[in-house]
Amino acid sequence: MSTLADVAARAGVSKSTASRALNGSGYVSAETHARVTRAAQELGFVAHPGAASLATGRTQTVAVILPRADRWYFAELLDGVQEELLTGGLDLMLYNGADGSEGRARMLDHAISRRRFDGVIAVGIEPEAHEIERLLKARRPIVTIGPHSEGASSIMLDDRLTAHVATEHLIDLGHTDIAFLGGPADPQRAGFGDALRIRGYLDAMAEAGLEDAARIVPAESSVPGGYAAAGDLLGNKRTRPTGLLAVCDETAVGAMIAARRMAISIPGELSVVGIDDHQYAEMFGLTTMRQHPREQGRTAVRLLQERMQNPDAPLARRVEASALVVRNSTAPRG
Amino acid sequence: MSTLADVAARAGVSKSTASRALNGSGYVSAETHARVTRAAQELGFVAHPGAASLATGRTQTVAVILPRADRWYFAELLDGVQEELLTGGLDLMLYNGADGSEGRARMLDHAISRRRFDGVIAVGIEPEAHEIERLLKARRPIVTIGPHSEGASSIMLDDRLTAHVATEHLIDLGHTDIAFLGGPADPQRAGFGDALRIRGYLDAMAEAGLEDAARIVPAESSVPGGYAAAGDLLGNKRTRPTGLLAVCDETAVGAMIAARRMAISIPGELSVVGIDDHQYAEMFGLTTMRQHPREQGRTAVRLLQERMQNPDAPLARRVEASALVVRNSTAPRG
């Protein structure tokens, strides 16, 4: 049975470097990491996975809590988190469950009771659910992506400003009848980010003296959701808006498909703006507010690593900007 | 500091039941699991995460290797795996990296050298990359979803038959000029599943005496990919096929959007069939071959658990059927 010293010798590095590479603690270059892990494999070196954890008190694992993987935003984010964790030699423990579901509550209980991670990245946590308060009981540093919570670092898109800029773009083009497409049937129950987007839309409308024209049309954040909701909204030519801000690009694309089916010209009769710069946005010529979920995921890992290395490091609170990307779905009011 | 006995007493269960619930080994009802984890939380019970692993030699963790999360098929599958693991009290360690990338090779090295899992679910592994052979060195049971490999259990869609049935559907409707949309520029380099779909298409064409009409048009497995490839294929009215089998629904939907832009009537001038029954298929009225990735994910976990409990259990090899779902994108040749 080979030892750590054998692995270090074969890889041509010190024992401490070999240990760092195999445990993923401290800095090791990608090249060294590859050489050491290869040497370990070739020698059949077996470090008991639990042993390093007991010795260091570290699991070299980060828990990622995600509401779902089947949306562009979350999938991109997850890819960014994975890439950055891999760079740091850290494993990713996934806890993937829909908000408010029974499975999700159970998943969190499970995660908290096991605490098999050195830190947590929690995505799209709703403050009312008190999930962060519960997670803090596990006494691990936490970074949230989305709403800020006491005791955790956070990264969020400036949702209010994003929707504000998008609405202003439509107003600048001369539109006065602009609807917001997204959120639940009762806007009071909108999630944190959606509520801020609605707020930004309403503020921009009010600043332009258009508060009476503001209307919020509930729609799911998906292509079929946007399609269904836009079908109702656009069906009546008399009450149809000339501008539409969708809560996300998937909803916007659904609305564009519905409009085409109804032979409503975009942007001739209807201007549409989304939020995301989804992979489909370019194909649909969709004007949108670009955000970078993959980069948000990478940043979350870096913020978490700071606090994993130094638990007394101050909490960070990052607010990310988005940028207007003008394509062919918006034009001056006809 | 509270002990396991305190937790068991508070939850009103035996120590062994409390231990099973906290370690996720053996059967515990969902209700008991919730009660025990709640009691542990309330008492601030701290079982060292590495200790249970050292004692039992088990990590209660399953590694999931996935090429990417941002496709409907993989996201659905991941959700199914997560749900079933949670039911069994097992954690999910995610290794998410694109085929053939440097990051992927490094990720596998990392996973194998640490072996912090009791079993592996490997999705969309390409046999030529010898990834399963490398994973087998970690001496953990493996279930593949996709190509079968020696030494691993497997679940796969009957890709050949699926494409065969889809092509026959078009042939039955009187189409003779049917193209296959999908796969890389060099069909010889198609991935395992895509190659079998191409095979099924070619076989069905040959059986109907249409081998000379068969043509394979490369396209990425995504909506933008289908859109771009169909743009070229459908542009020339003289050489345009009347039937189209797409490698997956996302490609099919991209082709449908391209056809609409070119004012080509579906199904009047062009019949389109996909494979998946993606969440967008119904909205687009897409005729498709339905498969159930979420259920495939659940089945993979169950097959893996059998071998985690009994390493001598025989390897399983499951081939899943798909079903033709006829909607409005296919019609008799006009």
To test the contact with chain B by mutation, choose from A35, A60, A110 the residue with the greatest count of B C-beta atoms within 10 A, namely A110
The pLDDT tens digits along chain A (334 residues) read 567 788 888 888 888 888 777 765 567 777 888 888 788 777 766 555 445 554 566 889 999 999 888 788 998 999 999 999 988 889 999 998 776 677 777 778 878 887 889 999 999 887 777 888 888 888 899 999 998 888 999 999 999 999 999 999 999 999 999 999 999 998 888 888 999 999 999 999 999 999 999 999 999 999 999 999 999 899 999 999 999 999 999 999 999 999 988 999 999 999 999 999 998 999 999 999 999 999 999 999 999 999 999 988 999 999 999 999 999 999 999 7
Spatial distance between the Cα atoms of A145 and A55, rounded to a whole number of angstroms: 31
Residue of B nearest to A135 (CA): B41
Same structural domain for residues B32 and B104? no
State the Cα–Cα distance between residues A133 and A121, nearest whole angstrom. 14
DSSP code of residue A183 = B
Say if residue B166 is in the same domain as residue B281.
Answer: yes
Task: Identify the helix (H) or strand (E) that includes residue B100.
Answer: none
Q: Distance (Å, rounded) from C-alpha A203 to C-alpha A208?
A: 9
- Provide the pLDDT for residue A16: 81
Residue A66 and residue A96 in one domain: yes
Chain A residue numbers touching B61 (CB-CB < 8 A): 93, 116
Instruction: Tell me the per-residue pLDDT of B108-153, one tens digit each, with 9 for 90 and over.
Output: 887 888 788 999 999 988 777 788 888 888 889 999 999 888 899 9
Task: Domain count for chain A, please give it.
Answer: 3
Say how far residue B214 (Cα) sits from the centre of its chain: 28
The structure tokens 């693991």 sit at B85
Chain B contact present for A95, CB below 8 A: yes
Query: Do B144 and B303 touch, CB atoms closer than 8 A?
Result: no
State whether residue A29 sits within 8 Å of chain B by CB.
Answer: no
- Per the CB < 8 A criterion, the answer to whether A316 and A96 are in contact is no
A54 conformational bin, left if phi > 0, alpha if psi -120 to 50, beta if neither: alpha
CATH at residue A278:
3.40.50.2300
- Asked whether the beta carbons of residue B110 and residue A53 sit closer than 8 angstroms, the reply is no
For position B45, which CATH number holds?
Answer: 1.10.260.40
Same domain flag for A171 and A286: yes
Residue A326 lies in a domain: no
Would residue B133 count as lying in a domain?
yes
What are the structure tokens assigned to B95, written together?
Answer: 């290794």
Rounded to a whole number of angstroms, the CA Rg of chain B reads: 24
Which residue range forms the structural domain that includes residue A90?
A: 61-157+292-320
Instruction: Judge if B177 and B112 occupy the same domain.
Output: no
Q: Which single residue is written with the structure tokens 């003779």?
A: B176
Domain boundary among B56, B76, B99: B56
Contact criterion met (CB < 8 Å) for B33 and A112:
no
Claim to verify: residue A120 and residue A147 sit in the same structural domain: yes
d(CA B108, CA B104) in angstroms, rounded, equals: 6
Domain membership of residue B329 (yes or no) is no
Collapsing DSSP states into helix, strand and coil, what is residue A75? helix
Judge whether B125 lies within some domain. Answer: yes
Note whether B315 contacts A: Cβ–Cβ < 8 A: no
Comparing C-alpha atoms, which of B33, B140, B96 is closest to residue A76?
Answer: B96
**Looking at the partner chain, which of B64, B70, B103 has a beta carbon nearest the beta carbon of A76?**
B70
B61 touches chain A (CB under 8 A): yes
Do A48 and A66 reside in the same domain of the chain? no
Do both A140 and A206 map to the same domain? no
Q: Give me the half-sphere count of Cα atoms (radius 13 Å) on the Cβ side of residue A149.
A: 25
A36 token code pair: 């050491």
Q: Are B278 and B297 contained in the same domain?
A: no
Residues A75 and A145 in one domain: yes
User: Are residues A114 and B33, on separate chains, in Cβ contact within 8 Å?
Assistant: no
B326 part of a folded domain: no
Q: What is the 3-state secondary structure (H, E, C) of A137-173?
A: CCCCCEEEECCCCCCCEEEEECHHHHHHHHHHHHHHC
Nearest chain B alpha carbon to A107: B86
Q: Which of A75, A91, A103 is the closest to B70 by Cβ?
A: A75
For residues B215 and B134, membership in a common domain is answered with no
Residue A325 inside a domain? The answer is no
- Quick check: A206 and A127 in contact, CB under 8 A? no
Q: Nearest residue of A to residue B54 by CA position?
A: A50
Asked whether this complex has an ipTM greater than 0.90, the answer is no
Residues A249 and A267 in one domain: yes
